[in-house]
Structure 1
Amino acid sequence: MKLENNVYKIQDTTVKELAEKFGTPLYVYDAEVIKEHLDRFRQGFNSVDLKVKYACKALTNMSVMKYLLKQGTGLDTVSLSEIQMGLTVGYQPSDIVFTPNCVDFSEIEEAVELGVKINIENLSNLEKFGKKYGGAVPLCIRLNPQIAAQSNTDKVDWWHKQSKFGISLDQIETVKALESKYDMHIDGIHIHSSSVIMSPEIFINGAKAVFDIAMQFEKLDFIDFGGGIKVDVGDGNEVIDVVELGKQLDVEFTAFCEKYGRRLQLWFEPGRFLVGNAGSLITTCVVRKRNGGSEFVGVDSGFNQLIRPMMYGAYHEIVNASNPNGAKEKYTVVGNICEIDNFAVDRMLPETKEGDLIVLKSAGAYGYSMASNYNSRFRPVEVFVVDGQAHLVRKRDNYEDLVRNQILIDV
């Protein structure tokens, strides 16, 4: 979203025009921004065989998935439904990787039948896989390399050794024993890059540790560094320079391949990096009130539609699209859920009145995909702007959607 001549636009369409046409609350995604981020992600890699797999859990709108297919990405999935959506929009099974977490083995069996790449993250399912398929079906293993990060939070901590994700390094001998016992074909090593690693140098040190692990496996075709890389959301916090990371990792991975004895593919699974800044949640200020010394801006949305601020304390830049240059005042922006429902506390915004359009930026990832019908409220419209045209890509919920699967019994 850009500000031109005091008017906020998404490509050539103004926020006001979008709100008038589709109503609020409204999620809108900008295809140009998605492509810009994808191009930037690829920019630093020149010599390696890079494969980008879009982590669609960030945003599973099928029109967005289809757009990314046309941009040449594969797909990272975490559920059978995501696999089915990927196949529906045209991804080939060979372009889809399935990386579930703590699932029943039956889901893995179904994914094998669908022909996608399997990524296993625990010893229990690894042994079951070996017993059933032996070496007939290649698989990837997801490791937890226990690499210390620069900073951690209590809820977001992927590389830490106490994380639930991946097979711990102290179990690597068991992995090797199972590989030998069942003659398994392990053709990939996967770890999850972390949003708490901010410098290419720290990342490269971790990558070198993964390369040492990879040397223990003789049949690899790829190494997958997963996703989780942050984007700049305007909060002033440090983010990793992905172009510089690409340049450094390009050299290190090429050297590793020479040592390994053949050229492998390098996989990444960006989700939020590709779609996060491409999405905006357009809302309307419906209530202005003062209470307890605080000035509140109440909008027609809530954490049922964008949970990240309440769940993670996530920062989303907020703009008043109706009065972008008004005098700044301090507001607490709140939603309409019947609980504490803050989008921002004590945020400086232009003077805001009822009826103003309030936009929460960087809402493309884990916005709609984590939305719910809490308080029996409807999930919003989704719109995708491609080549200057705004397309409705998901209707707003209605009452029939809300009660469709309920069965009213005579009690």
Structure 2
Amino acid sequence: MTMKHFGPTKLDASLIPKIARQWGTPVYLHDQEYIENSCERLLNMPNAYGLHVRYAMKANSDRTVLRVVTNKGLDLDCSSLDEAARAFAAGVPYSRMMLTTQEVPSGEERAELEQMIRAGLKYNVCSMTQFQLIADFAKNNNIDLSIRVHPGANGGGESATRDTGSEYSCFGVHLNDVPQVKALADKQGLRFTQVHVHIGSGGDPEKWRENIDRELGFVRTYFPDATTVSFGGGLKVARMPGEKQADITALGAYAAQRIKEFKEATGRELQMEIEPGTYVVANSGHIITRIIDKKLTNELNFLIVDGGMELLTRPLLYGSEHPIAIVRQDGTLLSSEYDAKPTAGLKSFGIVGRCCESGDSVRLDNDGNIVPVMIAEPEIGDYVVIGGTGAYSESMSPENYNSHRKPPAVMRTRTSELVLIRKKQVREQLVLNELDVKL
């Protein structure tokens, strides 16, 4: 039987050349229905005394994506003032945002932060310095705070660079400093009504369970005013065949049971909060690229495509893998790595982009060497479709490296309509902020 659909969104291969003809390549493609279904699964997680779901907007901050997510009932976790301002410009009120940032705003940015907080933004204290600088403002305006605690426990991410709870990361107020921060807050009459811990992305679900137990322990010890406990995000997504996705029903049930036990021991009911990003959007996305050249060395067959590390940096940063599909110019699906089809007649190719950088490949080993992918052999002009790119691709990549322009983005709507949600960057935008200085 001839394959036609592929990937977790069951993307129709015949749409690939249609999208390429209309908007060119490379191009990002998102799927509204998949995003909305992900939101619904999260909102239906088991819980004890209420569940609040925030979307980690750093995963994909496109305004259309933000609107789809917030329209389904998710609020936002923002990692910078600019993210908060960007979400507000997309129509999301500050009252639906929490700011969890490494920034220590001053000057105009400090004034902007205060304005956002007055408008309802929840401020998540992530350091002693942040607390000291916000304390007087919070006291004078009778504002309750959240606190992110660094637990000093490793293993929360699928790689060292994605582990945010270990002693080699610095996110949050370290558990050693919590008593001092809490004493200063008590002295000023300030309350921490929310406690937050995020230990990393894509790690072992068992580490997530350990985090629940650990966090409830120090909430009980240090935070008598807390009414919400956030267990962070990092829920594992299966981008590749053979990967195991986080069982959010089981994780929710575990958290609910522990929160009920917490109430039995303390008399306090806690609302659960989570802040996933990857889980919401990762498998909703594809990058459509076109094969522009083929080369051969003594070691590898190469396909050169018109979009690589400037669109998707995760393989270079993390060694992350993304499934590859090959589609002919006429819309015929030749092979799909995600679906493991076909199983015979495949050939080994190193797939690289057009950047002047040896690490510009869709698959690299831990030493940065290009790893070949087993695919059906394509021709120049055919399409390489990279899956699992809805999160941390267009929001986290150096699009203008080698002065390449940021490509357009398209959304397949719930009614299967294809809608342009971001235009391709024009060449003039590359130099828009440069000054014509004569030296």
> In which range does the TM-score fall when normalised by the shorter chain?
over 0.9
Q: Which moved more, 1:81-90 or 1:5-14?
A: 5-14
Letter paired with 1:338 = C
Aligned counterpart, 1:19: 20
In the aligned structure 1, how far is the partner of 2:71 from the partner of 2:156? 36
Contact 2:55 2:74 in 1 (8 A): yes
In the aligned structure 2, how far is the partner of 1:251 from the partner of 1:20? 53
Contact 2:154 2:199 in 1 (8 A): no
Contact 2:29 2:287 in 1 (8 A): yes
Aligned counterpart, 1:155: 161
In the aligned structure 2, how far is the partner of 1:232 from the partner of 1:301? 23
In the aligned structure 2, how far is the partner of 1:263 from the partner of 1:108? 34
* Structure 1: stretches of 5+ with no match in the other structure: none
CA displacement at 1:11 relative to structure 2? 6.6
CA displacement at 1:353 relative to structure 2? 1.0
Aligned counterpart, 1:409: 437
Rate the CA distance shift 1:264–1:66 in 2: closer, same or farther, 3 A.
Answer: same
Rate the CA distance shift 1:328–1:163 in 2: closer, same or farther, 3 A.
Answer: same
For the residue of structure 2 that corresponds to 1:407, the secondary structure is coil
Contact 2:227 2:271 in 1 (8 A): yes
Which residue, 212, 219, 223 being the options, matches 1:214? 219
Residue 181 (structure 1) aligned with residue 207 (structure 2): no
In the aligned structure 2, how far is the partner of 1:281 from the partner of 1:48? 40
Aligned counterpart, 2:342: none
Aligned counterpart, 2:362: 343
Q: Deviations over 1:308-350 (max 9, x none)?
A: 1112111000110225336310000000001111112211011
Q: Which moved more, 1:43-52 or 1:278-287?
A: 43-52
- TM-score normalised by the chain length of structure 1: 0.93
Runs of 4+ in 1 over 6 A off after TM superposition: none
Q: Deviations over 1:183-211 (max 9, x none)?
A: 21211101004335323x44223211111
In the aligned structure 2, how far is the partner of 1:73 from the partner of 1:309? 29
Whose strand proportion is higher, 1 or 2?
1
In the aligned structure 2, how far is the partner of 1:381 from the partner of 1:127? 43
Letter paired with 1:143 = V
Letter paired with 2:401 = Y
CA displacement at 1:232 relative to structure 2? 0.3
Q: Which moved more, 1:23-32 or 1:112-121?
A: 112-121
Aligned counterpart, 1:324: 333
Mapping of residues 232-381 of structure 1, within 5 Å: 232-322=238-328, 324-325=333-334, 327-340=345-358, 341-344=360-363, 345-371=371-397, 372-381=399-408
Aligned counterpart, 1:382: 409
CA displacement at 1:59 relative to structure 2? 0.5
CA displacement at 1:241 relative to structure 2? 1.6
CA displacement at 1:394 relative to structure 2? 0.5
Aligned counterpart, 2:366: none
- TM-score normalised by the chain length of structure 2: 0.87
Contact 2:47 2:272 in 1 (8 A): no
Q: Deviations over 1:261-300 (max 9, x none)?
A: 3433211111111001001000000001102321001000
In the aligned structure 2, how far is the partner of 1:151 from the partner of 1:410? 49
Equivalences, count: 408
Contact 1:11 1:30 in 2 (8 A): no
For the residue of structure 1 that corresponds to 2:334, the secondary structure is coil
Q: Which moved more, 1:292-301 or 1:204-213?
A: 204-213
CA displacement at 1:258 relative to structure 2? 4.4
Mapping of residues 128-147 of structure 1, within 5 Å: 128-134=133-139, 136-147=142-153
* Structure 2: stretches of 5+ with no match in the other structure: 336-344, 364-370
Rate the CA distance shift 1:46–1:191 in 2: closer, same or farther, 3 A.
Answer: closer
Rate the CA distance shift 1:127–1:260 in 2: closer, same or farther, 3 A.
Answer: farther
Letter paired with 1:378 = R
Residue 399 (structure 1) aligned with residue 404 (structure 2): no
Q: Which moved more, 1:377-386 or 1:189-198?
A: 189-198
For the residue of structure 1 that corresponds to 2:123, the secondary structure is strand
In the aligned structure 2, how far is the partner of 1:12 from the partner of 1:259? 55
Aligned counterpart, 2:60: 59
In the aligned structure 2, how far is the partner of 1:151 from the partner of 1:394? 31
Letter paired with 2:347 = E
For the residue of structure 2 that corresponds to 1:276, the secondary structure is helix
Contact 1:10 1:30 in 2 (8 A): no
For the residue of structure 2 that corresponds to 1:296, the secondary structure is strand
